[in-house]
Every structure is written in C-alpha cells, then in structure tokens.
Amino acid sequence: MTLNVVSVTVDLVLLTIRQAALQVLLIRRGIPPYPDRWALPGGFVLPGEDLGEAAARELREETGLDPQHGHFEQLATYGTPGRDPRGRVVTVAYLALLPDLPSPVPGSDAAGAAWRPAAEITPGELAFDHDRILADGLERARAKLEYTPLATAFCPPEFTVADLRAVYETVWRTRLDPRNFHRKVTGAEGFIEPTGGTVIRDRGRPAQLFRRGPATLLHPPLLRQPAPQAQSSRVGGTSRSSDL
C-alpha cells in the first residue's frame, strides 16, 4: 500500500459587511512563496486537531471571534498538485459569515491583515489558488442567502428589516423593493422574530428590531432570479426573455 504523505491546511474565507460592501479578510504574506501578495488566512492542521477545530482556531487568531458569532461551514477542499510550490498540500477551506463587530483588529500574527471589498479583488491578485477559493465562497454565500436564514449571520443580535435588506442587496449586488422584502421576510416562518424594541437609524420612522428566528431553511425562499419567465405556451414570445 502506498503511503501518501501530504500536508493538510485550512484556509478561511471570512466575509463581513462593512461600509456597505461585502468584504473579505486577507493577509499580506511576508515570506515566500508569493511574498507581498494577499492571501486568505489559514494554517496547518495540528496533530490531533479536527479540521473544523483548526479552522475555528484560525478564526479566533485572526479576528478574535468565535464561530458561533456568525455562521461557519466547510466550503470545499483543494488539492491540485502544484497549487503550493512547497509540496503537496491539501487545503480544506471554510467559509464564515460574520457580523461587523468592532473586530479586535483583524491582524495579529501576520505581516498585515485587512478587510478588503470582495468586488475589488482582481483575478490573479491572490496567492496560490485563493482566487478560486474566494470565488467559490462568494458563490456559496450568495446561493445560501436564497434558501437559508444565513443573512442574519452578517447582522448583530438585533437588527431591522432594512439592515437585513442591506445584507441581501450588498451580497447579491442588487436592489430589492423595501415593501416586498418586508413582506417576504416577515412572512417566512421562523426567519426573524420581533424583539419589541425599535430604533431610529438615521431619518424616518422608527423601525422594529428583530432577532434571528429558529428556522434553518427559508419557506418560501427568497429567490434572486431576475426573470422567471418560462411560460412559452404558444408562439409569440411575450417578453424579451433572453434564454440565451
């Protein structure tokens, strides 16, 4: 039997919403390979340490946050030979959605760390195959907002419907009708529950405060699909539905 010796690491896609933008925590590498390049935070899995534990430990080291402060899940595993010039490295990536807490400084043990707007990361900018990992994480986050209540993971314990809507608009890069959005989130069983309090954010009528509800799946889901046009019962295309 061939004994296959490999190094196993975890990488983290930490997402939060700051300054009305979806931001990802990146580390500035100080040493080769890829010196001075930005990379996802991560590190080796210690002997006797579970994969999720290792990821949680890295999360704590980088942000001072616990996984329970937001949402935390395994993303995918990357092991293409040559993805790390130092040798065969298999990386288990984790995805975290975090509230914009006054993080105790993102950087601690690295040359430099910073929240960077995800939209500004240009392809090829990150070290290793972290572009791909980040893209996978973003797509996962976008998709999960549709059918899970995970948008609340970006929010503090108490939030308004407008706060929640801002999360969707930021992550999906769309505009949503405030009235329809309000109807849908308050109508989805177990998504959010009122705390009783109200706040005035900036201007306008005070808004109710909510906390996350017990649901784990959204019913009905909040679809981001633009044109659900699919009824071609007869010839004579009604709309300009582009099924290209």
For every residue of 75-132, DSSP letters joined together read EEEE--TTSSTTS-EEEEEEEEEE-----S-S-SSSSEEEEEEGGGPPTT-BSTTHHH
Q: Does 230 bind DNA (CB under 7 A)?
A: yes
Q: Which of its own copies, DNA, none does residue 3 bind (CB under 5 to 8 Å by kind)?
A: its own copies
Question: Number of residues in contact with DNA, rule: CB under 7 A?
Answer: 33
Q: Which of 32, 79, 87, 206 binds DNA (CB under 7 A)?
A: 206
Max CA pair span of the chain? 70
Q: Which candidate, 41, 24, 25, places its Cα nearest to that of 170?
A: 24
Q: Interface residues for DNA in 160-199 (CB under 7 A)? A: 160-162, 177-180, 182-184, 186-187, 198
Kindly report the three-state secondary structure assignment for every residue of 144-186.
HHHHCCHHHHHCCCCECHHHHHHHHHHHHCCCCCHHHHHHHHH
For DNA, give the closer residue by CB, 134 or 185.
Answer: 185
> Which of DNA, its own copies, none interacts with 88 (beta carbon under 5 to 8 A by kind)?
its own copies
DSSP designation for 204: S
The tally of CA atoms less than 13 A away on the side-chain side of residue 82 is 0
Q: H or E segment at 24?
A: strand 21-28
Q: Which residue, 125 or 169, has its beta carbon nearer to DNA?
A: 169
Q: Does 77 bind DNA (CB under 7 A)?
A: no
Q: Does 143 bind DNA (CB under 7 A)?
A: no
Q: Which of 48, 86, 203, 236 binds DNA (CB under 7 A)?
A: 203
| Among its own copies, DNA, none, residue 64 binds (CB under 5-8 Å by kind) | none
Contact 222, 185 (CB under 8 A): yes
- Given 208, 211, 213, 215, the residue binding DNA (CB under 7 A): 208
Give the footprint of DNA on this chain (CB under 7 A). 160-162, 177-180, 182-184, 186-187, 198, 200-208, 220-223, 228-231, 238, 241, 243
